[in-house]
Structure 1
């Protein structure tokens, strides 16, 4: 053999040598010893598949092995605890995203599904993807049906094992990074003082029973308590800027400065004004002076309310313009003796209507004793007939609103009363003593004077009242109230409360609030109801349906859509902590907080909120229970950081939570962030978080300054006595660490007591 032939032979042998191929076909080097593909039939091991050669040989071998099922194994997965109604197509679409699927089979004995794969590699890829993405159902590796199998497959043991019981022994406590709360404490409850109480109608000297015989306002516990407490802005977030502003469920027009100056200028051009220093009424016409009119009267020309009189005969006029217009008739009796202006004068304590009045004797020469004040009798208007056009005057709850008729006469009377009250503002006297429940007063609401009824006067600093021509509630100081002239007291109230038919009472989120507020701008609505079937006798109100007169949009159905929570359908639809707004505690000195949970005192921390916020947390608990009970029972494993709805084992109720970690034992660590405790909840007691629950987070973690990072049991026991769960604490100082969303609170008296007992010294040692 020549040298050249020898070189070529060596080169040929080198070209044919493939160590990777040799190793691939060598069962000693290439076989599954761990993972989902371990202990599979040797026929599907890579080395055996390589030795089989071409696909035809593999098919022949598969056909031959069909005769003996113990020698053939196709890699497959088992899906258990699937949602009801899921189809093979849905499973195929999910699994085929991660690998090739040969066939999908369902079990005739149970609700399992079997997914066959052409290779083990495909099966492993799909298995990893399903476990990683946590679709909510169990994924198991199919076992080999071979009696000669000696070592059990780990997944076989899982499939054959009895279901895990909710037992502490089954929870993996060793591999957790987050410490669970030492104790599972009952949820604290905080008393809420209602706006109006049943006993207020029966109290002595109360006018509520006569002014509200149907007790409409007992249902008036609205959703705007935070606004009245100054803890929430009036305008909804992202509300389109316009001339309307919103507060406590009502819109009001912000008067421009030019309009204010124009009105002030018109007022200065009146026939006269009252000098409080000299206690005289000065008339600008011909520099005459007369006594101040005792009462407000009706203008002889336009019948508007005014406090200006003619200098000669004391007939009421709004101004020079009205006096000039009425002069052709007025001149017939102006200045003559025994003038009877019964059509124009309104004395306090007398009722008025379009055809009746009272005589005027307001001059200094002939004083008249002031009549005894009678009890007011302000009655609400009847609900407009079905099919009428109405306006939304205020929003109370998601299912309770106030409306008024927009019929021509009603609309005219409403705006006329509004203007008359505004004109009389200059002559109003302030209320000096605490008013009785049911008393009608005048209150300045955002620059506009309105009639209001007192609902609760237990606290002079927060007298609770309702604006009877709009329906919104307010809380004002005694010094903000004005006496209401009798002619304003006896006029019927324009705002009528109604209950929206088929709309649940839910917590008012910003989305619901924004939508309902958009109809406070005067949009025409058509009211629909059955006068007999839709009347609630016990509440004295009707259930109605409101329809947008312009777009024909059903107002009730839109609120329903925004209110009712729906479980996410898309597997990738998940919400995390940044989906919710985190409220921060007030900072500064002498801050009062309430303890929401103290089960982590071993770390020197407690969870706190303000009392107003704690009450808000209790308000939306009904929504959480409704959702948790309505969703079909199914296990769900949330992703780390994902929001969820979880059941608290102490009371069996549902609360908002966030997943902190998953260790694979079926008990993810969940922090109930509305209270602050951390618990381990089984996947059967976890539900997906709906998009409608946009309530802010009102609870914050607080570090007690002066405590060690790790508190011994003796110190924790003493702290639990001094700061019990649900208690109110007065903090000398509250600071915030914005980067960590964490607060520090100073409780020097508590620290001093601990030092006296030597607990802090022992903890430091």
Structure 2
């Protein structure tokens, strides 16, 4: 299908993702919108792990991708809902060019349900109550979905598409691309996250994007980012509760800043999260309020759109193990010139490998010896989200952690000592044994310096050079972000470049 065969979308501009001014440039790779290279550089700390390394900007007038057009309209509509219309912002910007610099502050509040923390400062929320015409909106979206063309290109992070769910088409937002076949999505009108096959997605055009969204991922103002398992476990007590979302937008001559806060009465959840993170790091807990101290209502009635998430919620006599019962070691920044043994290459097509330092292999051997002698009691187990457990992979037991509850007693787990993922049933899961406490020293590493987009030749080269159980020299640990270790392997990069140069 040619681009000319698809529905025409407009406009061909939007708002800069950083300053919210008129944007006529887009990221070459993922189509995030920017008004200038300066804003792109300023946004790089957030953006770099979507697009590593920094790609160039391209004019929107030269961008024929329908996916870019779809993202443009999606973000324009989102801005209409969250503050004011795109046209109004641009009109205000034009009329105020010659005015004296002054700050404008707009405040917006709404009642939301905090569905889930993705990290300490990032969470998924949905509206307290769907609009009265929600059923009619669903019917219209479903009607568009039946006739919508399938997405023939890989969607970008942040784009909106349509997906068949329980017999009707609904809107979904792309949160992450997990591998060649799977993609992580936010169900915009239900407020939950799932992983689906890319081929199931259909294009969402302007008429679908105009409807208000019932859920979104928000960034909390002045909250430090932390994905530590202990902190994430403690944050669960605030999930499923009702809060007032306060959005403060301050506009001046240079940029538009946004502050998002969750409150209930006199309680500021942003501050409570910071206290919790600080006290956890320093072994304190007395200053953090419990969810019982906050007089808010936990919604579990028939109108709750989250009931689908709770159908398989297990009940246990013993408490679930939500904090790691063993030490976890991560490569430190600036660690240099050391050898690793590659343990997993399932995400190599995106530049990721699971590996362990050659000197730490003895710890892995000890853990695997325990598991080889593990006596299965045959008691199937339904774990909670984020719980540590034992899980089968190719008929062998491994340490694992539940990262997603799929429903019908199916769970997605990550195998901690190897970093790969798999979806299995409760029949292949057991409670974590109390006496298995060997440290986990396996790291998920992202190879720095690879091309922005890995084509088939790049992937084939990497698969030949980096195989499971091979040894690899890491020149330097560049940085660690959310337990992902960015490493420099110049020998691999130089060899790839030389091969491509000869081929040319």
**TM class, shorter-length:** 0.3 to 0.5
Relative to its length, the structure with more strand (as a share) is 2
TM-score by length of 2: 0.37
Higher-Rg structure is 1
TM-score, normalising length from structure 1?
0.26
Q: Which has the higher contact order (CA 8 A, sep 6+)?
A: 2
